Amino acid sequence: MNWLALVFAGLFEIGWPIGLKMAQNPGVNKYPWIFLAVFSMAVSGTLLFIAQKTIPIGTAYAVWTGIGAVGTLIVGILFFGDSANVARMLSALFIVAGIIGLKLF
């Protein structure tokens, strides 16, 4: 159950940089996007708190930030035109490998 909370915490970790990015767009009402960012931070932090009850802090934090980082990278590529060059993809793959390693070992 705590691993599921940790995965969802990582997914909500993706929401706040998206909210902040969208709030910067000219001509857009920034307040709903700022609300999304703050809401995502709160949910993410709460779920991380729950997950750390049984998952070691170092593992939980690395998995949480890893899911957030790779997820935000993917969103940036798909929706914001960020670069998807080989070096970036390989680097993301190393992050994912680290997350899997922390779960397995």
If one compares 93 and 104, the residue with the highest pLDDT of the two is 93
Encode pLDDT of 8-46 as tens digits.
Answer: 999 999 999 999 999 999 999 999 999 999 999 999 999
72 Cβ contact list (under 8 Å, min separation 6): 13, 14, 17, 18
Domain spans of the chain?
A: 2-104
**pLDDT band (50, 70, 90) for residue 103:** confident
**Res. 102: pLDDT tops 90:** no
Encode pLDDT of 41-76 as tens digits.
Answer: 999 999 999 999 999 999 999 999 999 999 999 999
